[in-house]
């Protein structure tokens, strides 16, 4: 290699390294600046309450919930090292997201172009959907890392055919399945990509299928290994599906759900906030984006398989889950936030398309303008209304509620969450620093998030009538559904009112 060429390569790598460091710093700054502004909401608090238990208890409790256990186990180990502050706990999710951005950059740089990689990574770093869920103490960014990581290993194996890459691919898939069930569409995405990569077409034909099976049978072997690793959890997954399949909280699916998810990707706005003409306007911009993707695909045959991989990774999961929710499930399962696992494909696709439109500057400027406006709206929605108030509901503020209680609680006083509101119970338990046990009324079911109470009913469940004369009880109640306090309960403090909760101390008198 001659010296000028070596110098250019070194210079390019230096620029890439500087770019990666800068983008990761911006992404981390955006997330950290919002990571402690708002209280945990109940799913996050559930994660923390569960992760404080021992490993076997975590697995047993998760089996009664609706998700696999890997994230909770990792969070358990993480908290044992860094502690249980909000920032420390959410920091694990932020770390997973930063690693995901790095893997996306490596994929785009290796198989598309360094400039496309910079743009794709930059868009993903400020992507409203990833900002919105990237700080949550949930399994979303872990799933995103494993999905994009498995894609990296897949592409590496196709290029280099090394066993360690195949092993990495299988382990990533197995770990992803142990993280969340919604990652399974990535298997379909990878399978179609391999077929397109091997045959040059998506059209099914026996000769093409035979050739693909001949040269790419490794994929079926590795996939079988990943499924074998996951097989011990399959009976539990079936049980979870059967147990929770009636009366779940998810709203009925709509054929417009994929469009609404893409709007969420770009602007962090729920469809319920948009008028019909605003949804149409977003739809038109997505049609324009689709046209640009198609034009880039037609003009760059050498990049077509990878464009299809990004497009399939972004869109196919939305369609697959919509079909599964409509045709095969007794209750709706389509939930926007579960598509965080595939958001990196979408943002990467936008970056690649911008780069490929370099020979059409007018279209590139128009596309860049649309993307910039939508992302700016999304970042505004992330900061101004609040991470948990995008739907105009009051922001979660159990941290403030329990802050008042923690400062006024006296030894021996009880803490009770009224009305069987488990979401408030989880939040109150997480922010409780008094040493007293937070108790709650019987929620009336024993699956899903109520699995965390299983085996602890005698210690955690109470009705208001169970408290004895002479006891002092701090009562936490939802503002929209306040309980009927027994008339022999005497107020012992003023009523403290918050966004979503009311807090007051009572002394239990004789029942007369």
Pairing of strands 472-478, 414-417: parallel
Q: Which residue has the higher pLDDT, 218 or 38?
A: 218
- pLDDT exceeds 80 at position 242: no
Domain positions in the chain are 15-383, 398-508
- Angstrom distance (rounded) from CA 286 to CA 402: 44
Alpha helices in 232-275 (DSSP H): 234-244, 257-267
Q: Which helix (H) or strand (E) holds 105?
A: helix 86-111
pLDDT at res. 391:
46
Taking the C-alpha atoms of residue 348 and residue 108, their distance in angstroms, rounded to an integer, is: 8
Tokens of 470: 């002479």
Q: Are 316 and 186 in contact (CB under 8 A)?
A: no
| Predicted TM-score (pTM) of this structure | 0.93
pLDDT value of residue 140: 97
DSSP 136: S
Band of the pLDDT at 389, cuts 50, 70, 90? very low
Task: Report d(CA 181, CA 261) in Å as an integer.
Answer: 18
Q: How far apart are CA 275 and CA 281, in angstroms?
A: 10
Does residue 390 carry a pLDDT above 70? no
Tell me: pLDDT of 1 over 60: no
Q: In a 3-state reduction of DSSP, which class is residue 208?
A: helix
Map residue 474 onto helix, strand or coil: strand
Tell me the mean pLDDT in the region 49-61: 94
Give the pair of three-digit tokens for residue 91. 């920091």
Return the pLDDT at 208.
Answer: 81
Q: What is the pLDDT of residues 106-144, one digit of tens each?
A: 999 999 999 999 999 999 999 999 999 999 999 999 999
Q: Per residue in 401-451, pLDDT tens?
A: 999 999 999 999 999 998 667 888 999 999 999 999 999 988 877 777 888
The DSSP secondary-structure symbol of 326 reads I
Q: Is the pLDDT of residue 246 over 60?
A: no
- Closest by CA position to 352, among listed 399, 302, 387: 302
501 pairs with which residues across the strands? 478
* In 341-442, alpha helices (H): 343-356, 361-383, 398-408, 422-431
Of 90-94, 226-230, 389-393, the range with the lowest mean pLDDT is 389-393
Q: Residue 466 pLDDT more than 70?
A: yes
């Amino acid at each position: 290699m001659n010296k000028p060429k070596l110098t250019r390569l070194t210079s390019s790598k230096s620029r890439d390294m500087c770019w990666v460091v800068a983008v990761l710093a911006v992404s981390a700054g955006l997330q950290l600046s919002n990571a402690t502004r708002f209280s945990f909401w109940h799913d996050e608090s559930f994660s923390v309450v569960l992760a404080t238990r021992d490993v076997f208890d975590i697995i047993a409790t998760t089996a009664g919930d609706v998700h696999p256990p890997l994230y909770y186990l990792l969070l358990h180990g993480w908290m044992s090292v860094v502690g249980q502050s909000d920032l420390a706990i959410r920091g694990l999710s932020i770390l997973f997201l930063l690693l995901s951005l790095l893997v996306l950059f490596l994929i785009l740089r290796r198989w598309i172009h360094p400039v496309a990689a910079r743009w794709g990574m930059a868009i993903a770093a400020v992507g409203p959907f990833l900002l919105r869920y990237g700080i949550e103490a949930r399994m979303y960014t872990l799933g995103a890392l494993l999905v994009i990581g498995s894609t990296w290993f897949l592409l590496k194996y196709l290029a280099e055919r090394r066993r360690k890459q195949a092993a990495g691919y299988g382990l990533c898939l197995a770990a992803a399945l142990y993280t969340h069930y919604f990652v399974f569409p990535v298997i379909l995405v990878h399978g179609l990509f391999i077929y397109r990569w091997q045959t040059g077409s998506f059209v099914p034909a026996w000769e093409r299928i035979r050739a693909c099976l001949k040269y790419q049978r490794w994929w079926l072997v590795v996939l079988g290994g990943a499924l074998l690793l996951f097989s011990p959890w399959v009976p539990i997954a079936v049980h979870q599906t059967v147990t929770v399949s009636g009366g779940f909280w998810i709203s009925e699916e709509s054929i417009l759900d994929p469009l609404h998810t893409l709007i969420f990707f770009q602007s962090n706005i729920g469809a319920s906030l948009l008028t019909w003409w605003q949804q149409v306007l977003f739809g038109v911009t997505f049609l324009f984006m689709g046209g640009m993707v198609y034009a880039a695909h037609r003009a760059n045959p050498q990049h077509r398989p990878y464009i299809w991989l990004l497009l399939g990774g972004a869109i196919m999961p939305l369609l697959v889950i919509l079909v599964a929710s409509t045709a095969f499930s007794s209750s709706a399962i389509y939930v926007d936030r579960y598509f965080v696992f595939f958001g990196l494909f979408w943002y990467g696709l936008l970056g690649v398309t911008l780069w490929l439109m370099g020979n059409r500057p007018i279209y590139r400027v128009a596309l860049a303008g649309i993307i910039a406006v939508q992302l700016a709206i999304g970042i505004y929605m992330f900061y101004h209304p609040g991470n948990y108030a995008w739907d105009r509901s009051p922001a979660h503020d159990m941290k403030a509620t329990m802050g008042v209680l923690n400062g006024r609680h006296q030894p021996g006083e009880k803490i009770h969450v009224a009305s069987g509101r488990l979401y408030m119970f989880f939040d109150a338990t997480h922010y409780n620093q008094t040493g007293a046990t937070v108790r709650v009324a019987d929620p009336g079911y024993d699956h899903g998030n109520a699995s965390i109470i299983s085996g602890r009913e005698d210690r955690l469940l109470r009705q208001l009538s169970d408290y004895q004369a002479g006891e002092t009880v701090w009562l936490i109640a939802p503002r929209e559904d306040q309980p009927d306090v027994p008339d022999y309960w005497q107020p012992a403090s003023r009523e403290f009112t918050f966004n979503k909760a009311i807090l007051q101390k009572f002394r239990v008198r004789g029942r007369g």
